[in-house]
Amino acid sequence: MTFQISAISIYNEAGRVRTVPFKPGKLNIITGDSRRGKSALLNIVDYCLASTDYVIKGAALRNFVQAFAVTLVKGQHQLFVARPAPAGKSATTTTMCVISQALGAPPPTQAELRFSTPLDIAKDILSEFSGIDRTVRIPAVRSAAPIPPSVRHALFFCLQKQNEIANPDLLFHSQGEEFRPATIRAMIPYFLGAVDPEQVLLENRLRLLRQELSHMEAAVAAARSLSSASGQALALVTEAVEAGLLEPLPREEMTADTALEHLHQAITDSTPTHTPDTGEDPVAILIEQRRELRQRHGRARARIANLKQAARENRDFLDQAAEQHARLATLGLFTPSSAGEQESR
């Protein structure tokens, strides 16, 4: 589950290639003046190994480099991986160039580069080249679904930036970023060789079952709590009392447990505690009273309607009489004396 870097290359707009070679299997030390791009080599490696971000820094690299590449070797196999710089205002690129080469072959020219491999496919190819088993599923700390290890997870234990080496609180690459410590803790056993694929699946299933058990225990505890009984439970107890299956019970102090116990007692006890009244059915009496009240209500509404109609007709008559009186008085045909004579006649 190892590979080594034999070269790091960059391509400019004119197609010129600048390559920094390494000797596999040996300690390689790069020296040079300050601000000459030594720290950028680590970012180029990170970017070419299927990073989701454009981690290249420095104005010279961002303005003049068109493509970045690394050459990887593993035994007698060699893999050339190149990735273009983002064009325009793009945040990053989602395609890469992955070429299998003969051992010791130089980097191809810029004209030979074909950036047609999607980022996720390139990550799988790099993981397979590294010897990482993609069928393994590692339980994730913040997710219910397990995640497969990849070459991106291996970089936690292979790279270290200058500020990470000098920081006594950091041990692994990207450990200071959000959510990374949880992923690092999950991946350490696998990259140490202490993880069995079957064991990982069983542990993940055990974790999910424990979560489900915890939720079920919480639900049972809530159901058995000493909270007041629900309205349905109280209604069932009331029906049992009315049916003579239970003695009258205080509703104020009744809890869910006591209501359940009383209902269980009513079910198991076949002998009623008292005989219900054998007189006339109270429900039938109430139904008859409701029918009589409805009839009285209907008659009252009909009487009110008749009175309203009579009042309306009387009002219309008075309005017409007043109007005729006004007309006759205007013409001088209606006087109090003539009105008195008409009344005498």
- Is 270 a residue whose pLDDT tops 80? no
- Of 59 and 19, which is predicted with more confidence? 19
Highest mean pLDDT among 146-150, 249-253, 334-338: 146-150
pTM, to two decimals: 0.56
Q: What is the pLDDT of residue 96?
A: 96
The pLDDT of 13-27, averaged and rounded, is 92
- Of 318 and 282, which is predicted with more confidence? 318
* Residue 95 · residue 113 · CB < 8 Å: no
Picking from 178, 131, 127, the residue whose alpha carbon sits closest to that of residue 153 is 127
The pLDDT of 316-344, averaged and rounded, is 71
Q: DSSP class of residue 88?
A: T
Q: What is the pLDDT of residue 338?
A: 47
- Of 79 and 189, which is predicted with more confidence? 79
Q: What is the pLDDT of residue 277?
A: 54
Range with the poorest average pLDDT among 18-22, 94-98, 114-118, 203-207? 203-207
d(CA 323, CA 332): 15
* Residue 82 · residue 113 · CB < 8 Å: yes
Both tokens of residue 180?
Answer: 């990374």
Q: What is the pLDDT of residue 258?
A: 76
User: What is the rounded end-to-end Cα distance, in angstroms, of the chain?
Assistant: 134
Question: DSSP string covering 201-215, please?
Answer: HHHHHHHHHHHHHHH
> Over the stretch 140-189, which tens digit does the pLDDT of each residue have?
766 667 788 999 999 999 998 888 888 888 899 888 888 888 888 888 88
Picking from 58, 69, 91, 65, the residue whose alpha carbon sits closest to that of residue 19 is 69
- Is 124 a residue whose pLDDT tops 80? yes
Picking from 292, 291, 290, 294, the residue whose alpha carbon sits closest to that of residue 302 is 294
Q: What is the pLDDT of residue 279?
A: 60
Q: Would the CA dihedral through 25, 27, 30, 31 be positive or negative?
A: negative
Highest mean pLDDT among 6-10, 89-93, 206-210, 218-222: 6-10
Given phi > 0 = left and psi -120 to 50 = alpha, else beta, which region is 299? alpha
- Is 201 a residue whose pLDDT tops 50? yes
Place of tokens 């050459």: 71
Q: What is the pLDDT of residue 119?
A: 94
* Residue 37 · residue 58 · CB < 8 Å: yes
pLDDT band at 281 (very low <50, low <70, confident <90, very high): confident
Range with the poorest average pLDDT among 1-10, 105-114, 209-218, 242-251? 242-251
Range with the poorest average pLDDT among 31-35, 74-78, 315-319, 328-332? 328-332
Range with the poorest average pLDDT among 35-39, 52-56, 70-74? 35-39
Picking from 250, 201, 198, 207, the residue whose alpha carbon sits closest to that of residue 229 is 250
The pLDDT of 45-61, averaged and rounded, is 88
Share of the chain above pLDDT 90, in %: 34
- Is 226 a residue whose pLDDT tops 50? no
- Is 251 a residue whose pLDDT tops 70? no
- Is 81 a residue whose pLDDT tops 90? yes
Place of tokens 């200058």: 162
Both tokens of residue 227?
Answer: 């909270």
Mean pLDDT of the chain, nearest integer: 83
pLDDT band at 49 (very low <50, low <70, confident <90, very high): very high
Instruction: Give the neighbor-by-neighbor strand order of the sheet with 117-118.
Output: 17-21, 4-12, 65-74, 77-84, 95-101, 117-118
